[in-house]
Amino acid sequence: MSAKDHITEDQPTVTNVEEQEQQAHNEEQNAADQPQEETTPQSASEARIAELEQQIEEQQQRYLRAQADFDNFRRRTIKEREELAQYATSKLLTELLPVVDNFDRAINAAKQNNDFDALSKGVDMISRQFNQVLEQEGLQPMNVIGEPFNPEFHQAVMQESSAEHEEGTILEELQKGYMLKEKVLRPAMVKVSS
C-alpha cells in the first residue's frame, strides 16, 4: 500500500484545508463589509419608540389639517347659505315690484278721479297679478269648502250644526290657507259642521 492509499476521505487534504481557510476568510470579509446593526433589546425598543412617536406626530398633523379643512368648509357653507337666502329674497321682491307700482298707480288715479268703479277694477287686476307672482313661486291657495276637516291642513275656529252636511265637513272658510309646493304654509281657518 502506498502512502496515497492511506489517505482517507476523513483526513483533510492540503487543498481542502486551503479551500476551507479561503472560505472562512471570505465569510469574515463579507461580514466586515456589511454594516453591523446593534440587536440589543434596548436599542430595538428605542428604535420602535422613535418610529411610533414619528407616526403619532404625522397623525396629529393630519388631524389638524382635517380639522382646519372642516372649519373652512363650515364657514364657506354658512356664507353660501346666507347669500342664497339673500338672493332668493331679492328675486321674489323683484317680481313683486310691478305689483307695488300698479298699487301706486291705482291709488293716484283714485285720488284724481274719484272713480271707485275704476279703482275696484284696477285693484282686482292688481290682485290677479299679485296672485300670479305667488303661483309662479309655488304658492297655491287651498280650496276647502265642502271638504272633510283635516287638522293637518285646516284650523277649526267655529262649529255649526248642519242637517245638510255630514259631521266634520267644512262649511265656510274664514281665512284662506296656502300650500307652498307640497308643504302647508298656512292652514285655512274654517267653520266645521257638527
Give the model confidence (pLDDT) of 137-169 as tens digits: 888 999 999 999 999 999 999 998 888 888 999
Burial class (CB in 10 A: 0-12, 13-18, 19+), 170: buried
Domain spans, the chain:
44-137, 139-194
Query: What global pTM score does this model have?
Result: 0.51
List the one residue out of 142, 138, 137, 129 whose CA is nearest residue 170.
142
pLDDT tops 70 at residue 91:
yes
Q: Domain 44-137 adopts which CATH fold?
A: Hemagglutinin Ectodomain; Chain B (3.90.20)
pLDDT score at 95: 84
Give the model confidence (pLDDT) of 69-80 as tens digits: 999 999 999 999
Cα–Cα distance for residue pair 69/156, rounded to 1 Å: 51
- Provide the mean pLDDT of the chain: 82
Alpha helices by DSSP H, listed for the chain, are 3-6, 14-33, 41-113, 116-136
pLDDT top residue among 105 and 9 = 105
CATH of 139-194, one of 3.40.120.10, 2.30.22.10, 3.30.70.20, 3.50.50.60: 2.30.22.10
pLDDT tops 80 at residue 7:
no
Burial class (CB in 10 A: 0-12, 13-18, 19+), 177: buried
List the one residue out of 108, 102, 97, 96 whose CA is nearest residue 122.
102
